[in-house]
Amino acid sequence: MYTDTHTHIYSEEFDSDRLPVIRRAVENGVTRMYLPAIDSGWHEKMLDLCRAYPENCFPMMGLHPTSVKQDYRDELAIAEAFLADAGMKFYAIGEVGIDLYWDKTYEAEQRIVFGFHLDLALRHNLPLVIHTRNSMDMALQMIEERHEPRLRGVFHCFSGNRTQAERAIALGFLLGIGGVVTYKNSGLQAVVEHTGLDHLLLETDAPWLPPVPHRGQRNEPSYLPLIAQKISEIKGVPIEKVAETTTRNAERLFGS
C-alpha cells in the first residue's frame, strides 16, 4: 500500500473525472491521499471531497504562499476558524511556506505568514507541509531560529541539495519526493541516494509534476508507484520496502 502525502485532486483539473481518478489510485494501492489547502476559495471543495471519501482523503489547513496578498490577515483568520471547528479533523498545517519564484511583491508578508503558521503548528500540535521555491535556505533559517524541537513536518516537493536535505533532517523534517526524481539530470536522484528511506515521503503534487513516462500530461495519485519504483532503483532496495517504509513514515508524521 502507498500513501500520497500531497495531492490536489479537488482542483478543477479533475472536475470531469474525479471519481475514476480516486478509483484508479485505490486500484494501484494508493489508498491514502493527503490534501493540502490553498486558500478560502478552495477550502470547502477540498473538505467536501474529504467528507465524501473519509477513508481515502485527509485534509490539511493553511494559506498557500502564492495566495498571500494584502488580505492575508483575513485568510489566516478563516484558516484558524476551520482549525477550531471540532466537526473536521485536520492532519497538517499546509500547504504553507515561501514562494519567490514568480513574484516577490509580497515577500515580507510571506515571511510573516510562514512565521504565523509555525506558531499555528505548535498551538495545534500538527506537522507542517512546507512549500519552498527559491526560498529553501530562508525557510530553513526561520525554523532553525525558533529552536523549537516540537516543530516537525515535510518539505514538500523537495528540490534542494544534499546540504539543505541534511539541515531539514537535522530539524526533524522529512523530504517529500515526487515525479521530479524520475527526470533525467534533476539532481534529486543524488539527494535520494544519500538519504535514508526513514526520512522520505512519497507524493504526486497532482495535477502537476507527473513522473516519466507521463511527463507533460496531467499527474494523478495512481502514478505514485512509478515514483516508488525509481526510488527503489536508486536505493537498490525492493519497491515493497519503499512502499512499506514511506507509508510508515506518513503514519508517524500525520498520526494516521
pLDDT of residue 185 exceeding 90, the answer is: no
Taking residues 22-33, what's their average pLDDT? 98
Residue-level pLDDT at 62: 98
Q: Which residues have a Cβ under 8 Å from the Cβ of 159 and sit 6 or more positions away? A: 132, 133, 136, 180, 187, 188
Asked, as a colleague might, if the bond just before 95 is cis with ω within 30 of 0, I would say yes
Q: Which residues have a Cβ under 8 Å from the Cβ of 168 and sit 6 or more positions away? A: 140, 155, 158, 160, 174, 175
C-alpha 17/C-alpha 232 separation (Å) is 30
C-alpha 84/C-alpha 144 separation (Å) is 28
Q: What is the CATH number of domain 2-254?
A: 3.20.20.140
Residue-level pLDDT at 87: 85
Average pLDDT along the chain: 97
Q: Which of 97, 93, 96 is nearest to 61 (CA)?
A: 93
pLDDT of residue 26 exceeding 80, the answer is: yes
pLDDT tens, residue by residue, 108-124: 999 999 999 999 999 99
Q: Which of 203, 204, 194 is nearest to 169 (CA)?
A: 194
Type and span of the H or E element at 231: helix 224-235
What confidence category does residue 136 fall into, taking pLDDT thresholds of 50, 70 and 90?
very high
pLDDT of residue 65 exceeding 90, the answer is: yes
pLDDT of residue 150 exceeding 80, the answer is: yes
C-alpha 107/C-alpha 72 separation (Å) is 12
Residue-level pLDDT at 256: 76
